[in-house]
C-alpha cells in the first residue's frame, strides 16, 4: 500500500464518484479504478459497493476512511518535521530559568520559535546555579 493509494481512496470516498474524484486528482478514471482495486486487494477488504449508478462505502470503507485521513495528516506532519530538522528549526533546548523570569522567557521563546520543543527547569533560589549539573541545562538565565 502506498500513500497515493490512500489519497486516491479518500478522494473517491469524499466524492462517491470515480469520475469526479479522477478529475480532482488530475488522472484518468480507469487508472484510478485500478489503484482502488489494488488497495482493496492489498487490504483484503472491499472498500466500495459499486454498481452502474452508485458508489457507496462499505463498513470497512467507512472505518478505513477515518484512519486514512489520520494517516495522510500524519504523513504531512512527518514531512514538515523532517524539513524543519533539515533547517535546524527543531530539537530540544534545556534552559534553566530563575523562577522570576520563567513566564517571560517562555513567552519570548514561544513567540520567536514556536516550533522549538523546550524544556524549562525553574531554579528555586540564587544558590542553585552553582550546584546545578552542567549536563542538565544547555544554558541558565538568572536575575541579578
98 and 75 belong to one structural domain: no
Task: HSE, CB side, 13 Å, CA atoms: give it for residue 64.
Answer: 26
- State the Cα–Cα distance between residues 55 and 14, nearest whole angstrom: 11
Predicted confidence pLDDT, tens digits, the chain (144 residues)? 889 999 999 999 999 999 999 999 999 999 999 999 999 999 999 999 998 889 999 999 999 999 999 999 999 888 888 887 788 766 666 666 666 666 676 677 667 665 555 555 555 444 454 444 545 666 655 565
DSSP string, 65-121: HHHHHHHHHHHHHHHHHHHHHHTT---EEEEEEETTTHHHHHHHHHHH-TT-EEEEE
**C-alpha closest to that of 3 among 68, 81, 49:** 68
Supply the pLDDT for residue 33.
94
74 and 20 belong to one structural domain: yes
Instruction: Please tell me the pTM assigned to this model.
Output: 0.62
56 and 104 belong to one structural domain: no
Q: What is the number of structural domains in the chain?
A: 2
Q: Which residues contact 29 (CB under 8 A, 6 or more apart)?
A: 18, 19, 22
3-state DSSP helix/strand/coil % of the chain, to nearest 5: 55, 15, 25
- Domain hosting 42: range is 3-86
- State the Cα–Cα distance between residues 141 and 118, nearest whole angstrom: 14
- Of 61, 86, 111, the one marking the end of a domain is 86
29 and 75 belong to one structural domain: yes
32 and 71 belong to one structural domain: yes
Say whether 126 sits in a helix, a strand or coil.
Answer: coil
- State the Cα–Cα distance between residues 65 and 10, nearest whole angstrom: 6
Amino acid at each position: 500500500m502506498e500513500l497515493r493509494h490512500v489519497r486516491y481512496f479518500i478522494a473517491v470516498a469524499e466524492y462517491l464518484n470515480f469520475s469526479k474524484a479522477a478529475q480532482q486528482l488530475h488522472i484518468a478514471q480507469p487508472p484510478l479504478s485500478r489503484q482502488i482495486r489494488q488497495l482493496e486487494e492489498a487490504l483484503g477488504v472491499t472498500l466500495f459497493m459499486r454498481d452502474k449508478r452508485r458508489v457507496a462505502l462499505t463498513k470497512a470503507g467507512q472505518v478505513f476512511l477515518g484512519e486514512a485521513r489520520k494517516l495522510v495528516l500524519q504523513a504531512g506532519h512527518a514531512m514538515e518535521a523532517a524539513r524543519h530538522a533539515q533547517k535546524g528549526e527543531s530539537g530540544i533546548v534545556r534552559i534553566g530559568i530563575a523562577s522570576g523570569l520563567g513566564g517571560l522567557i517562555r513567552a519570548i521563546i514561544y513567540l520567536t520559535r514556536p516550533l522549538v520543543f523546550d524544556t524549562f527547569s525553574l531554579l528555586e533560589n540564587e544558590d542553585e546555579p552553582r550546584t546545578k549539573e552542567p549536563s542538565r541545562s544547555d544554558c541558565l538565565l538568572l536575575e541579578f
